[in-house]
Chains A and B, each alone.
Chain A
Amino acid sequence: MTRPAEDRTVLDAVRRGDQRSLEELYRRHSPRLYALLLRMLRETADAEEVLQETFVDAWRRAGEYSVSRGSVEAWLITIARSRAIDRIRNRGARLRLVKQSEQLATTDAPQPEPPDVHAQTRLRKALGTLPPEQRRALELAYWDGMSQSEISRETGDPLGTVKTRVRLGLQRLAELLAG
């Protein structure tokens, strides 16, 4: 059984109310989700809270998951990112003023696990082939939780241009990663 198929089996059990299966889902996906949330939110406490929300959400809405709309991992990332974006937008300008370098400044920053080097290499290669403006638009949306309107304000580019960059950038990335 492939990992996505295993995930679906585990989620089926979660849907039936099996808490141990939720714990299994957490064991499988929380390290990547936590890394994602730390990068997006830049605060350990916020990342922990959103990670909690994500799995409580997954527990409650397991019945809504549809395989036709993506894998379980993509579904969990969607939940986590939408909650992180909600938090970032609520912080608004306040966060962006204090946003520091890409490194976490917290002294108790958790230690990373060994990375999936193959996936990283493939992604970096794919990102490297995107035109810089498309890449920048994707990064602002992905890591900073900016809407297209906010990216337009941030970069000074017309909204229509930003929309095109986001669409073409993600589509190009999908082609490169699939190839």
Chain B
Amino acid sequence: MTHQDFLDQVDAYALGALEPGEARTLEQHLASEGPHPLCEAALARARETVATLAADLKPVSPPPRVWEGIARAIAGGEPVPRAPAAPSTPAPAREAVKALRPIPAWTYSIAAAALVILVLGGINIREAHRSAEMARASAAECKKDLAEARIDVLRKDDALQLLQEPGTQLVSLKPSPPGPAPGAPGTGVVLFNPRGRALFVGKSFQAQATGDYELWIIRDKPIAAGQLKPGPDGRVFSEVRPDVLTGGRPAAFAVSVEPKGGERDAPKGPIILTGAVAAP
């Protein structure tokens, strides 16, 4: 990249309007042996202009919990992601952010609120204890639901991110043979990226009493790609083992029901879903 190339793109870079790859090229230029006084001056000017655009906003005081989270994080009390190399390269750090996100106050306040209501109503202490226990259990249940919802969001974000990567294709898995099959298999789709990543996303999977669902990659022969464990709601999110994605483009994906513990060599149980991978 020449200095002129940099100058041509620096405004879009400062705005964050470049694609990640383009932004990296500009950052590499600045990091390369310099000096780059013109480029740095242009970047400073563009950044100041971009910063000025926020002047139109009325400042808003964040709640105290935000600073409390920061203070905890820098004191080492919470896991925090490593910072990316440069500020304008978008870098996901959601895992640690979830750790920083405070649990909503309502989950903790349920028990306290229940107690207040009971005391005001003149109900006896034993009754109050029992109700408080129930409220605590309810709060715990809420926290559990909340944790599950967060995991769900993370999984969906992960799938969405993979879907947005160049080359990712959706392989829809359909019942095999067509029509309703024994055990009511769910529906599934594989998000497959030939650069070595695949995710299985399914729904309406019933837990098998005597077997496990196994995902297979079909090339010239089937290769076990990992067990699929449905959640209580019948949904399945499963990362395909990366080591089985390295042997060339698969012809298809399939799901079978195998004896407990899965099967490594070839499907022995019924194949319930299959989907062909489209040619590039």
Task: Give the B-binding residues of A (Cβ under 8 A).
Answer: 19, 22-23, 26, 30-32, 34-36, 38-39, 45, 47-53, 55-57, 59-61, 66, 68-71, 73-75, 77-79, 81-83, 85-87, 89-92, 94, 110-116, 119-120, 122-124, 127, 138, 141-142, 145-149, 151, 163, 166-167, 170-171, 173-174, 177
Contact = CB atoms under 8 A, between A and B. Distances in A.
B88 A177 contact: no
A22 B74 CA distance: 10
A70 B48 contact: yes
Contact of A90 (B47, B53, B55, B157): B157
Nearest to A71: B48
A48 B66 contact: yes
A111 B100 CA distance: 23
Contact of B16 (A50, A57, A61, A81): A81
B67 A82 contact: no
A166 B12 contact: yes
Interface of B: 8, 11-12, 14-19, 37, 40-41, 43-63, 65-67, 69-71, 73-75, 80-81, 83, 87-94, 97, 100-101, 157, 160-161, 164
Shortest beta-carbon contacts, A-B, top 6: A86-B90, A31-B59, A112-B58, A119-B55, A70-B47, A141-B17
Contacts of A51: 62, 66
Given A53-B97, A115-B59, A145 B16 contact: yes
Contact of A52 (B54, B69, B94, B157): B69
A26 B67 contact: yes
B17 A31 contact: no
Contact of B51 (A73, A113, A114, A148): A73
Given A26-B67, A56-B74, A167 B88 contact: no
A141 B19 contact: no
Given A69-B40, A92-B160, A49 B57 contact: no
Contacts of B52: 119, 123, 173, 177
A148 B61 CA distance: 32
A112 B14 CA distance: 27
A128 to B, nearest CB: 12
A82 B15 contact: no
Given A51-B62, A52-B73, A116-B55, A170 B44 contact: no
14 contacts: A47-B62, A48-B63, A71-B51, A75-B47, A77-B50, A77-B51, A83-B93, A115-B58, A119-B52, A123-B52, A166-B15, A167-B12, A170-B14, A177-B52
A60 B55 contact: no
B90 A82 contact: yes
Contact of A57 (B65, B83, B92, B161): B83
A4 to B, nearest CB: 10
A52 B66 contact: yes
Most buried by B among A39, A71, A83: A83
A170 to B, nearest CB: 4
Contacts of B73: 52, 56
B62 A34 contact: yes
Contact of B47 (A32, A74, A147, A171): A74
A17 B8 CA distance: 37
Q: Give the residue among B50, B60, B89 with the most A Cβ atoms within 10 A.
A: B60
A141 B11 CA distance: 11
Nearest to B73: A56
Contact of A177 (B49, B58, B164): B49
Contacts of B90: 82-83, 85-86, 89
A171 B92 CA distance: 30
Contact of B12 (A23, A60, A61, A163): A163
B220 to A, nearest CB: 37
A174 B60 contact: no
A113 B61 CA distance: 7
A123 B71 CA distance: 34
A147 B18 contact: yes
A129 to B, nearest CB: 14
A153 to B, nearest CB: 13
A82 B59 contact: no
A151 B54 contact: no
Given A68-B44, A74-B48, A82-B87, A170 B58 contact: no
